[in-house]
């Protein structure tokens, strides 16, 4: 065998061994099996002269990249997070939405959702793992149930990746109507003022256009709304914690997320539509504090233009229509009352939405120390059930 072929063969064999060691006996063994299958197939095809050396190298390199993206440790936190995500995904899949069976938690720097496509021999993707990034390490101590409603936000991204065409269509129509209104208004303007007006219109389109990659304001607002729909005041409390951080810049403009000022307005609007107006007080307080900030480099006319109430309203309403169309289970006052009752009677709270609601209720109703004792006991009990 030629030296170059020999080294290709070694490369594939090394990758194969690596995959086999990495996932054997872990919860991701089925992902490992799939990678092993693809690599073995390329290896066979390459040896038989069917697959080109380039193709074999491409798949081997890609398989290594996939390995790097997937979680590396499978401790108790992984077991807890994976089971919670599975139960939530089952709850959300009772109606029109069908969430993936391959949602995998990964300890990370921050919250996030990432689709990792598995390699395939013919270059077409047939299978994907959806990673849910959770802050912290694979330690049970890093499970913070009060922040976990952000899982609902990340699963909201997943739901829109699978079934978000309706949202894109609904919102795009509103966006076009807002933008053409703005364009009509710039017709009478001349010179430099016109350039600024046109630049502003373009910027609004850049931020708000509901691109399929979800790196835009419309989708971020939509998944906040979905998270409120799914977990109600538990999500509002979790995002309130983030927004009350003194180091947060509420006017930070960027394409991937709306400013917190815009997000705050959308949260209030969605809460009012979904029956949680009672919990909007802290957001109103934050917004009036932020509004009192004198305009500066951080807060410009562009901010005002981009936070167009019609666009916020359109994103919230299109997201609610999407939740209805997919029959996602909504968190209602009755559900919260039922969890409250169960806590009062000392009943065991099941893993899933009820646990997220219970953690929030427990925190509101007890001292910090009592809350932590409750959380540790609840996590330990659930882990014992999962791993028994
Ligand atoms: Zn997001």
Shared domain for 256 and 203, answered yes or no, is yes
Contact present, 336 and 200 (Cβ < 8 Å): no
Residue 150: inside a domain, yes or no? no
Shared domain for 299 and 245, answered yes or no, is yes
Residue 354: inside a domain, yes or no? yes
CA 317 / ligand 1 centre spacing (Å): 18
CA 286 / ligand 1 centre spacing (Å): 21
Shared domain for 267 and 121, answered yes or no, is no
Which of the pair, 9 or 261, is modelled with greater confidence? 261
What mean pLDDT is predicted for residues 326-330? 98
For 226-248, what is each residue's pLDDT tens digit? 999 999 999 999 999 999 998 88
For the record, the structure tokens of 32 come out as: 């490992």
CA 61 / ligand 1 centre spacing (Å): 29
CA 114 / ligand 1 centre spacing (Å): 11
Shared domain for 230 and 175, answered yes or no, is yes
For the record, the structure tokens of 27 come out as: 């919860």
pLDDT at 37 over 50: yes
User: Looking at 325, 344, 369, which one is the last position of a domain?
Assistant: 325
CA 259 / ligand 1 centre spacing (Å): 13
CA 153 / ligand 1 centre spacing (Å): 6
Tell me 308's DSSP state. -
Q: How many separate domains does the chain show?
A: 4
Shared domain for 228 and 304, answered yes or no, is yes
Shared domain for 302 and 165, answered yes or no, is yes
Residue 151: inside a domain, yes or no? no
CA 159 / ligand 1 centre spacing (Å): 12
Q: What span, in angstroms and rounded, lies between the C-alpha atoms of 115 and 118?
A: 10
CA 220 / ligand 1 centre spacing (Å): 5
Residue-number span of the structural domain to which 317 is assigned:
159-325
For 79-103, what is each residue's pLDDT tens digit? 999 999 999 999 999 999 999 999 9
Shared domain for 56 and 89, answered yes or no, is no
CA 217 / ligand 1 centre spacing (Å): 9
Bridge partners (DSSP) of residue 25 are none
Residue 241: inside a domain, yes or no? yes
Shared domain for 293 and 181, answered yes or no, is yes
What mean pLDDT is predicted for residues 131-147? 97
What mean pLDDT is predicted for residues 2-26? 74
User: Looking at 282, 305, 325, which one is the last position of a domain?
Assistant: 325
Q: What span, in angstroms and rounded, lies between the C-alpha atoms of 205 and 278?
A: 33
Give percent of the chain above pLDDT 90.
65
Shared domain for 232 and 262, answered yes or no, is yes
Shared domain for 47 and 85, answered yes or no, is no
Q: SS3 for 115?
A: strand
Residue 207: inside a domain, yes or no? yes
> Can you give the pLDDT at residue 134?
98
CA 111 / ligand 1 centre spacing (Å): 8
CA 257 / ligand 1 centre spacing (Å): 7
CA 378 / ligand 1 centre spacing (Å): 28
CA 223 / ligand 1 centre spacing (Å): 6
pLDDT at 50 over 80: no
Sign of the dihedral through C-alpha 222, 175, 275, 322 = negative
Shared domain for 169 and 302, answered yes or no, is yes
CA 275 / ligand 1 centre spacing (Å): 23
Name the strands in the sheet holding 112-117, side by side, starting at the edge strand that comes first in the sequence.
103-108, 128-135, 112-117
For the record, the structure tokens of 66 come out as: 């996939």
For the record, the structure tokens of 110 come out as: 């921050």
State the pTM of this model.
Answer: 0.93
Residue 86: inside a domain, yes or no? yes
CA 295 / ligand 1 centre spacing (Å): 27
Residue 147: inside a domain, yes or no? no
CA 316 / ligand 1 centre spacing (Å): 15
CA 9 / ligand 1 centre spacing (Å): 42
> Can you give the pLDDT at residue 122?
67
Q: What span, in angstroms and rounded, lies between the C-alpha atoms of 266 and 307?
A: 10
Residue 50: inside a domain, yes or no? yes
Shared domain for 89 and 234, answered yes or no, is no
Cα–Cα–Cα angle for 249, 254, 255, rounded to 5 degrees: 150
CA 191 / ligand 1 centre spacing (Å): 39
User: Looking at 325, 355, 378, which one is the last position of a domain?
Assistant: 325
């Amino acid at each position: 065998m030629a030296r170059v072929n020999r080294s290709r063969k070694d490369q594939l064999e090394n990758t194969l061994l690596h995959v086999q060691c990495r996932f054997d006996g872990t919860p991701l063994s089925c992902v490992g099996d799939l990678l092993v299958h693809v690599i073995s197939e390329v290896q066979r095809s390459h040896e038989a002269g069917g697959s080109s050396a380039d193709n074999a190298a491409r798949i081997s390199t890609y398989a290594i990249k996939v390995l790097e993206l997937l979680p590396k440790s499978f401790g108790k936190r992984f077991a807890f997070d994976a089971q919670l995500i599975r139960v939530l995904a089952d709850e959300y899949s009772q109606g029109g939405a069908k969430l993936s069976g391959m949602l995998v938690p990964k300890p990370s720097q921050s919250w996030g959702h990432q689709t990792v496509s598995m390699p395939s021999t013919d270059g077409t993707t047939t299978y994907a793992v959806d990673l849910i990034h959770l802050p912290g390490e694979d330690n049970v101590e890093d499970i913070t149930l009060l922040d976990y409603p952000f899982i609902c936000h990340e699963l909201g991204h997943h739901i829109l990746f699978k079934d978000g065409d309706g949202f894109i269509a609904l919102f795009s129509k509103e966006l076009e109507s807002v933008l053409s209104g703005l364009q009509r208004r710039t017709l009478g303007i001349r010179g430099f003022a016109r350039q600024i007006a046109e630049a502003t219109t373009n910027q609004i389109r850049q931020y708000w256009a509901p691109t399929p990659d979800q790196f835009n304001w419309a989708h971020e607002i939509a998944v906040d709304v979905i998270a409120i729909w799914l977990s109600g005041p538990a999500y509002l409390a979790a995002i309130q914690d983030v927004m009350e951080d003194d180091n947060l810049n509420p006017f930070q403009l960027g394409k991937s997320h709306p400013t917190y000022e815009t997000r705050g307005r959308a949260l209030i609007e969605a809460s009012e539509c979904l029956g949680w107006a009672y919990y909007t007080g802290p957001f109103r307080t934050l917004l009036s504090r932020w509004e009192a900030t004198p305009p500066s480099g951080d807060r410009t006319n562009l901010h005002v233009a981009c936070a167009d109430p019609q666009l916020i309203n359109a994103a919230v309403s299109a997201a609610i229509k999407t939740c209805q169309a997919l029959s996602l289970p909504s968190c209602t006052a009755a559900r919260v009352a039922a969890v409250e009752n169960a806590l009062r009677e000392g009943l065991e709270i099941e893993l899933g939405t009820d646990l997220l609601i219970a953690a929030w209720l427990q925190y509101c109703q007890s001292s910090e120390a009592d809350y932590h004792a409750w959380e540790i006991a609840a996590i330990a009990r659930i882990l014992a059930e999962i791993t028994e």
